Amino acid sequence: MLKNADLIPTSVLRQVIAAGSVTSARIQSGDKGLVILFRLGMTERLLGAARGGIRYFHSLDGAAAYLLNHRIVQFDVDIPHWKPAMMVRNYKGAQAALPISGAAIREERLPENVKI
């Protein structure tokens, strides 16, 4: 993970985006949630929080919404060790969250009069 010295505050990020210097963005899992990394030329910078430190997101929707609000519509997602809050919770009577396998997916058949 990048150090706090490699942060980019939102105010500076707006100027960098306006100048067209952001070449890519990536959402990845961090220590306390999801973080956003911006590639500026050959360097990568973490999104900084308003009051210092790293900006963490608790949902993929929140991180994606942040990027979309800043007019970044293409980005990578690298979250192999992150689990959504709904998968972590264990409700009474709920089955443990398991990855979906091909055998578990039910095949839906279209009516005979429907042509594709």
**Paired tokens of 108:** 């839906």
Looking only at the bridges linking them, the beta strands covering 43-47 and 22-29 are unpaired
Give the tens place of pLDDT for each residue, 43-64. Answer: 999 999 888 889 999 999 999 9
Residue type, 80: P
> Mean pLDDT, to the nearest integer, of 93-111?
50
- Cα separation, 55 vs 65, whole angstroms: 14
In one-letter notation, the amino acid at residue 82 is W
Mean per-residue pLDDT over the chain, rounded: 78
Which segments of 48-87 are extended strands (E)?
76-78
* pTM for the predicted model, two decimal places: 0.69
Which overall architecture, per CATH, does domain 4-83 show? 2-Layer Sandwich (3.30)
Mean pLDDT of 66-72: 92
Q: What single-letter DSSP state applies at residue 58?
A: S
